[in-house]
Chains A and B, each alone.
Chain A
Amino acid sequence: MEQGAREGDSRSQTDFRTRVSARHSLDHVFTALVYAATAVGLIILAVLLASVLRDGVPRIDWQFITGYPSQVLPETAGIYPALLGSLWLLGLTAVISVPLGIGAAVYLEEYATDTWFNRVVEINISNLAGVPSIIYGLLGLGIFVNLLGFITGPHSGGQSILTGALTLSLLILPVIIITTREALRAISDSVREGGYALGATRWEVIWGHLLPMALPGALTGTILALSRAIGETAPLVVVGALTYINYAPTGPLSSYTALPRQIYFWIEQAQDEYKVLAAAAIVVLMAVLLLANSVAIIIRNRYQGRT
């Protein structure tokens, strides 16, 4: 007992094996591993980009952007209808899905009480985010083409841009809802209480404080979701995007094709000229995507700066 203190001292020196250099080695190993993991992704992306750019860029000219696809003369074919179709889809999908998604998120986060019904809704939304896009295509086929075809496309048998946009909206709604909810949840309750304490109603607090504060986060989710939507092929095939079209869409009720659908069609053709066309269309699709994203990011940053 009387030696207790001294034994304690010696123990503190002998029972620890600090082994700093071995731990540092392990540190280096893991650093190398995570670098490698990042590099694999980047290299594959770079190779992909380089190959597409090499094949596609020489083929891109004004005639390619403004021309119409051709069944017989791949040298003069263009992507004008598909490009316009994709832009229409992007715009309409945004207009439909953003208000719906943000509205649903506000309800679930700010109004819904903890009942079994709301819990079921919540679980379902999380699950819906993981449902394969082709399933949404089938849903769109059932509802917007077959059931509501007389509204969504009186002259195209329901296979219109509107149908495509509605289907893509369904596809990306869960992502928008989830990211907006997360942005709302990140806002401290003290903000809500501060608003209520001034005699504000719930809606005034939401509109005046919560939505402006959640907007940057909600926009990030929306950008990601829309990027996914514009690249989707499978659901559009199901709800009737055409493979060959020689006129540009004139409005939401027109028949249409979209860039990914056009690309898919060209890749299936045997001649090499069509493969080049596909590569060129891919470059255009990516350019549209990057452009749309940067516009959204600029809007977001401007808003963040203001608040």
Chain B
Amino acid sequence: MESEKTREERTLFGVSGSERDTREGSQPPADGSTIGMQIRDLSAYYGTFKAVTDVSMDVRANRVTALIGPSGCGKSTFIRCLNRMHEVVPGARAEGCVTLGGQDIYTKDTDPVMIRRRVGMVFQKPNPFSKSIYENVAWGARINGYKGDMDELVELSLKQAALWEEVKDRLKSSGLGLSGGQQQRLCIARTLAVEPEVILMDEPASALDPVSTQKIEDTMEQLKQSYTVVIVTHNMQQAARISDYTGFFYIENMGDPGRLWEFDGTEKMFSNPERKETEDYVTGRFG
């Protein structure tokens, strides 16, 4: 199976858990998994405005890491720095160090196109292409030079995204004709089709009804077998249900940049967090 191969690659390149950086206080204890992405002192700007400051975090391979926090505290900005999508916005830039499988993705000669091919992204609003369902999935694989059986890849990707049964009879019809939840799963399928190492999800279920949300959560449960997932969510139950690690982003004073306030195992974060603001937030006392 494909996932076996990629996992092996990841272990080869991954930094082993014991080499944990201790500069930042609240890195959660290792759980036997390797580090998928390592973030050190990351700050993100829009022009002169600093949106996120000094985030350090280890994203563990084959685990789901959830990012929670009030609106406008930089979760989405942060996640977009992990595949160099942040800089697509005119005037936006990031400082700091982000490594993927031990390799710094922000060096001068790193090609952002290559990084995005390895770190896929699912957006808040479903954004399927104005093409057939089949082409939506096949396009990314084709531009990345996929040489295998395309029909097979499309079917596999749609199955992984739990969409195959609903669309297998109308692969030639437009992806825009699907419902919102189906569109989002189509976007997950097209991301899976290029076989990235990490999948970033920016509130993937926030525009969806509970049934579709459930399906996407089921999909994520499957995904973490073979992928590293980072998900931004406003839904605390969702974070508690699906993630292994949770990071809480917070802005203390109006106008400050967002910070990673606390980062720990999900269970600890939701039962016994270190900081008062985290506890207030996860128990719904504010935000």
Residues on B with C-beta less than 8 A from A188 are 127
Interface of B is mostly: mixed
Residues on A with C-beta less than 8 A from B143 are 198-200, 204, 208
In the complex, the answer to whether B117 meets A198 with C-beta atoms within 8 Å is yes
In-complex Cβ contact of B187 among A114, A194, A208, A209 (8 A): A194
A221 to B: closest C-beta gap in Å: 19
Residues on B with C-beta less than 8 A from A200 are 113, 140, 143
Residues on A with C-beta less than 8 A from B208 are none
B85 in contact (CB, < 8 A): yes
Would you give the 0/1 interface string for B114-145, flagging 1 where the beta carbon is closer than 8 Å to chain A?
Answer: 10111011010101111100000001100110
In the complex, the answer to whether A199 meets B131 with C-beta atoms within 8 Å is no
Question: Nearest residue in B to A202 (C-beta to C-beta)?
Answer: B113
Q: A197 CA to B194 CA in the complex, in Å?
A: 10
Q: A212 CA to B131 CA in the complex, in Å?
A: 10
Report the count of interface residues on A (CB-CB < 8 A).
21
In-complex Cβ contact of B90 among A113, A198, A213 (8 A): A113
In the complex, the answer to whether B140 meets A209 with C-beta atoms within 8 Å is no
Question: B interface, how many residues as a size bin?
Answer: 20 to 34
In the complex, the answer to whether A196 meets B116 with C-beta atoms within 8 Å is yes
A31 in contact (CB, < 8 A): no
A299 in contact (CB, < 8 A): no
In the complex, the answer to whether A212 meets B130 with C-beta atoms within 8 Å is yes
Residues on A with C-beta less than 8 A from B228 are none
In the complex, the answer to whether B120 meets A198 with C-beta atoms within 8 Å is yes
Would you give the 0/1 interface string for A79-122, flagging 1 where the beta carbon is closer than 8 Å to chain B?
Answer: 00000000000000000000000000000000001100000000
Question: Nearest residue in B to A199 (C-beta to C-beta)?
Answer: B117
Question: Nearest residue in A to B142 (C-beta to C-beta)?
Answer: A208
A147 in contact (CB, < 8 A): no
A193 in contact (CB, < 8 A): yes
In the complex, the answer to whether B116 meets A197 with C-beta atoms within 8 Å is yes
Would you give the 0/1 interface string for A183-210, flagging 1 where the beta carbon is closer than 8 Å to chain B?
Answer: 0000010111111111111001000110
Output the residue of B90, B118, B129 with the most chain A CB within 10 A: B129
B83 in contact (CB, < 8 A): yes
B270 to A: closest C-beta gap in Å: 30
A289 to B: closest C-beta gap in Å: 31
B202 to A: closest C-beta gap in Å: 10
Tell me the B178-198 residues at the A interface (CB within 8 Å). Answer: 187, 190-191, 194
B237 to A: closest C-beta gap in Å: 27
B88 in contact (CB, < 8 A): yes
In-complex Cβ contact of B127 among A113, A191, A199, A204 (8 A): A191
Q: A200-B140, A209-B129, A209-B130 are in contact. Are A194 and B113 (CB under 8 A)?
A: no
Would you give the 0/1 interface string for A276-307, flagging 1 where the beta carbon is closer than 8 Å to chain B?
Answer: 00000000000000000000000000000001
17 A-B pairs whose Cβ atoms sit less than 8 Å apart in the complex = A188-B127, A190-B125, A193-B121, A193-B127, A194-B187, A196-B88, A196-B116, A198-B116, A198-B139, A198-B144, A198-B191, A199-B117, A200-B140, A208-B139, A209-B131, A213-B130, A307-B174
What 10 additional pairs, Cβ within 8 angstroms, besides A197-B191, A204-B143, A208-B129? A194-B123, A195-B129, A198-B190, A199-B116, A199-B118, A199-B140, A199-B143, A200-B113, A209-B131, A212-B130
